[in-house]
Structure 1
Amino acid sequence: MLRIVSLQMMATALAGLVAALLGGWPAMISAVLGGLCCVVPNALFALRLFASVHRPGAASPATFFVGEFIKIALTVGFLGATAWLYHDLNWPALIGGFVVALKSYIILLFRHQK
């Protein structure tokens, strides 16, 4: 899980760099905020799963589904807060950064494990 979250952070940084080159600072900040709206809830979800697996009797499907619900609620909340609080928001950059972070795990599918 840590590899996925770190890969999402790197993809978010790359999306921010591309957005900065294409649209300037507001686009870069929007892309990074969009990526963080995906990365932060995923990191919290991974931490919650890691903690529940290492406690006896704590891992269950209910733990997973409650964590997933919290992750989705946090993502929606972060996106809403970003739209409400950041007044120079560049919507294409925000959505682009979010999608890049969300789908960055696909890169791990193409890596060969040794």
Structure 2
Amino acid sequence: MINREVKRVVRLQVVLTLVAVLVAAVIGGFAPILPVSVVIGGLCAIVPALLYGKIAFARRHEPPAVLMRAHFKAEAVKFFTTLLMFGAALVFFKDLSVVGLFGGYMTATSGYWFGLLIKN
């Protein structure tokens, strides 16, 4: 189960990634390489964030040490998932725009920081 705050942050990451895809489509002259690269970069941030939420918040009403271990485990899974996704993107998609890939990742990752600043 993913808690409400994680859903809010992931939703913001998705919205920011979609905006970046539209901008990339206009900048790239509607050629598919740049927007696809931005989508893959955004997914490299969104999927690990979802995994983090599932792992870190799976347990409730546990001692603090157990909750901290869950967060450490979730962060390790998030880190390695991000590395694997970037590696797979760079290996399997030869025509990717590296600028678009990392731009999409940074845009989606900024959703986390904006999520901390924006409270509903």
- TM-score (norm: length of structure 1): 0.88
- Within 5 A, what are the aligned runs for 1:1-114? 1-23=6-28, 24-53=31-60, 56=62, 59-111=66-118, 113=120
Cα RMSD (Å): 1.8
Runs (5+) with no aligned partner, structure 2: 1-5
| Count of aligned positions | 112
Q: What secondary structure, in the 3-state scheme, does the structure 2 residue paired with 1:11 have?
A: helix
How far is 1:79 from its partner? Answer: 0.4
Measure, in 2, the Cα distance between the counterparts of 1:18 and 1:102.
Answer: 17
Residue 101 of structure 2 aligns with an amino acid whose one-letter code is L
The answer (yes or no) to whether the contact 1:9–1:101 under 8 Å persists in 2 is yes
The answer (yes or no) to whether the contact 1:53–1:59 under 8 Å persists in 2 is no
Measure, in 1, the Cα distance between the counterparts of 2:52 and 2:117.
Answer: 24
Cα gap change, 1:18 to 1:60, in 2 (>3 Å): same
Identity of matched residues, %: 34
Runs (5+) with no aligned partner, structure 1: none
The answer (yes or no) to whether the contact 2:25–2:32 under 8 Å persists in 1 is yes
Measure, in 2, the Cα distance between the counterparts of 1:41 and 1:99.
Answer: 14
- TM-score (norm: length of structure 2): 0.83
